[in-house]
Amino acid sequence: MTTTSAPDETPGVTMKDEAYGELRASAALWAGTSVLITNQRGQVLLQRVSYRPTRLLPGGAVDKGESPARGAARELEEELGVKATVTQGLAVDWVSPTGRAAPPALRFPGELLHVFDGGVWDDDRIAAVRPAPGEIDGIEFAEPADLPSLMSPGDARRTLSALRARVNGAGPVLLEDGLPIAPTVLDRVGVLRTARARHHLPFHAGPVPAGLAVRQSWVWAFAPDGRVLLLLEPDTGAACLPGGTTEPEDGGDPWVTAVRECREEATAELGDPRYLGYLSDAGPCARVRYAAALASLGAAAVDPATGRTYVRVLATPEQALEFFDWGPSEAAEQLAAAHRGRAVLGIPRAVHPQPVTEIVRPTTW
């Protein structure tokens, strides 16, 4: 083997395999692996461990000669008593020597840490967890927005980046000290860093009962490819469907409310609606849901009600649910209603998953 000091130099020094191996060994890194698991509400599984005050994802060091994926499966079995095959990567993080608060005695050289997708676990699978005695004190499920208060800064950044990669559906991402080297719109806006909208409210497919006041009206606004419009707050990363609160000028018509709010929030024009149903809320009151085809989006503008200029993205309906905490059954019922409305509108089902797309220019369909 030959080495040169510059790419355009003629090779002149022959390096023996032994010397080359010694050189590479001197630059060795640690290798780690972890698994991101969520419950049916989109909360992240964290471990309470005996040797650290902060929470961790399941995982640990990769053994000599072991692949990161096999290491992840081994750690799941050792730490949680769960056998699983780990095949889907979410992120690979280059943790620099200064990117981890390690004691000097560890002589931390840097680490390549793989994050794998452990999937969504139901109640039965969670109940089967058996934490390793003496090492794992227990598990808990945490809201994504709570991760920075529960994990070390680097672990929280990495977990949120991996979670956004899972939601985005564009494949594994490369990180440096927990942050993506090629940020998506979800990373740039900081989706999931603040509390998700929580509405564990019963969904009813029928008409709003007489005498029950309608307070809000929201729209599953479908693009021709079957994706829906979501609005992201630029300063918090919080998400919402287009729509909002009824006003006197709407004349008591919730569809008029939806049309007005879509224009004000997103400069969006809608086609004819399909009524989906309503959510019953305390008060009592109703929050109406519609499906409609997106006709056009104008230039982004300031919403007069909030003073924000929303970031407008298209996501599959399934991806859209990841931005909210609506409860497993409530979310499933509303998703089914949205797909029924989409089918009536003659819009195809979106390929899922696919990358979330930001709409930055006026668009007409």
DSSP assignment string, 24-42: HHHT--EEEEEEEEEETTS
What secondary structure letter does DSSP report for 106? Answer: G
Q: What confidence category does residue 29 fall into, taking pLDDT thresholds of 50, 70 and 90? A: confident
Distance CA 227, CA 351 (A): 9
Let me know how long the chain is.
Answer: 365
- By DSSP bridging, strand 324-325 and strand 197-198 are parallel
Q: Which two tokens stand for residue 122?
A: 């139901």
CA 87 to centroid of chain Cα atoms: 19
Distance CA 186, CA 188 (A): 6
Predicted local distance difference test score (pLDDT) of residue 360? 95
Lowest-pLDDT range, 1-5, 50-54, 56-60, 153-157?
A: 1-5
Predicted local distance difference test score (pLDDT) of residue 4? 44
What secondary structure letter does DSSP report for 187? Answer: H
User: CA 31, 169, 238 angle in degrees (round to 5)?
Assistant: 100
Helix, strand, coil shares of the chain, percent, nearest 5, are 25, 30, 40
Distance CA 5, CA 52 (A): 44
82 has pLDDT over 90? yes
Average pLDDT on 184-195 reads 97
Residue type, position 80, single letter: L
Backbone angles phi, psi at 194, to 5 degrees: -120, 165
Q: What confidence category does residue 9 fall into, taking pLDDT thresholds of 50, 70 and 90? A: very low
* 38, 44 contact by CB (below 8 A): yes
Q: Which two tokens stand for residue 273?
A: 């609606």
User: pTM, whole model, 2 decimals?
Assistant: 0.91
39 has pLDDT over 50? yes
- By DSSP bridging, strand 214-222 and strand 179-180 are unpaired
12 has pLDDT over 50? no
Distance CA 313, CA 300 (A): 12
297 has pLDDT over 70? yes
Task: Express as a percent the part of the chain with pLDDT over 70.
Answer: 96
Q: What confidence category does residue 23 fall into, taking pLDDT thresholds of 50, 70 and 90? A: confident
Distance CA 60, CA 116 (A): 12
Lowest-pLDDT range, 56-65, 92-101, 117-126, 169-178?
A: 92-101
Q: What confidence category does residue 226 fall into, taking pLDDT thresholds of 50, 70 and 90? A: very high
Predicted local distance difference test score (pLDDT) of residue 26? 75
Distance CA 16, CA 173 (A): 36
Backbone angles phi, psi at 242, to 5 degrees: -65, 140
Q: What confidence category does residue 13 fall into, taking pLDDT thresholds of 50, 70 and 90? A: low
Predicted local distance difference test score (pLDDT) of residue 240? 96
Predicted local distance difference test score (pLDDT) of residue 232? 98
Strands (DSSP E) found in 143-192: 173-176, 179-180
Task: Express as a percent the part of the chain with pLDDT over 90.
Answer: 86
* 117, 90 contact by CB (below 8 A): yes
Predicted local distance difference test score (pLDDT) of residue 22? 79
5 has pLDDT over 50? no
Closest CA to 260 of 229, 305, 197, 225: 305
pLDDT, the chain, mean: 93
Backbone angles phi, psi at 68, to 5 degrees: -60, -40
8 has pLDDT over 60? no
